[in-house]
Amino acid sequence: MSETTVVVHGATGTQGTAIIRRLRAAGHRIRAVARHPRLAADPAVEAVPADLLDLDALVAAYAGADAVVIQLPLHFAADAVRQADTVLDALGKTGVPRAVFNTGGAVPADPIGVPFVDARIRLAARLPDTVPVASVVGPASTYLENLVAAWSRPLVHTQGELRYPLPEQLPNPWLAADDLGAAVADLVVAAAPPTARFVAGPSALTGPQVAAEIEAATGRRLRWHTIDPQDYARMLAPHLGEAVATGIAAAYINPAPLPDPTLVVRGTTTVRAWAARQDWAA
């Protein structure tokens, strides 16, 4: 498959921008979909506004596409499952030949009564019956980008502290969003893509080890501090709103099961290499 047109959902988010960057590097035409696209003018990226509850808008966005990369938003309202259903309906109506669904994180096998989670479960389960070639991909661990987000970066810059709701001595294979983007770009063109793939960082590090790697990359003294999920929600709320912050924190209170190890592939970006590329003073 060459000179393909790939529709990418969540185009303005951290994961979406990494996926677009990788797809562009591979020479694909990009149709970037978001509710309120804010992409810079770029002839290689066509910005398409579409609400996930607007079937006609999604059908128009998908028309003529060779593949669709789906990412559901951080949306914790009751209509989250309807969003998944509308995406599936649009894929079926347009006959898109290939779709890749990035879950954005681990999801359980069965619905749990939480729309945000159940929407992802439904989309993953029904996608293979909707498009001829379907793959589900997701991070097998937490994103490194969480450590440089608006709620974390100032603490690193002014206090030399990484605050995160993971146990200090838990080895975690932190993942760079760019490595997830690379996996998605591979799945878009793979002749026989797997139905499921999860991406982890190249090695599992404890909290203090992560702090030491970032310190080595930046020359900035840094220490790890484990916090409660509720405290993490309070960090996020001024930036994301109470509902989203509470929903994210809930994932750390009741984490989903880890993916099957046989479905996990390793990225190549180390914590130190990733940290060296960040603007910690921004």
Average pLDDT over residues 251-262: 87
Looking at 118-122, 143-147, 236-240, 259-263, which range is the least confident one?
259-263
Q: Give the C-alpha distances (Å, rounded to integers) separating 154 from 76, 90, 115, 150.
A: 27, 41, 32, 7
Residue 1 has pLDDT above 50, yes or no: no
pLDDT of residue 2: 54
CA-closest candidate to residue 66, choices 5, 11, 131: 5
Across 100-125, average pLDDT: 91
Question: What does the angle CA 147 – CA 152 – CA 156 come to, to the nearest 5 degrees?
Answer: 90
Whether the model clears a pTM of 0.85, i.e. scores above it, the answer is yes
Q: What are phi and psi of 45, to 5 degrees?
A: -125, 120
Q: What average pLDDT does the segment 218-236 reach?
A: 96
**Structural domains in the chain?**
5-276 (3.40.50.720)
Share of the chain above pLDDT 90, in %: 80
Tens-place pLDDT, residues 71-81: 999 898 999 99
The C-alpha atoms of residue 45 and residue 75 are separated, in whole angstroms, by: 25
Instruction: State yes or no: pLDDT of 111 exceeds 90.
Output: no
Q: Which pair of structure tokens corresponds to residue 225?
A: 């501090």
Asked whether residue 230 carries a pLDDT value surpassing 80, the answer given is yes
Mean pLDDT check: name the lowest of 86-90, 91-95, 107-111, 218-222.
Answer: 107-111
Average pLDDT value for residue range 107-120: 88
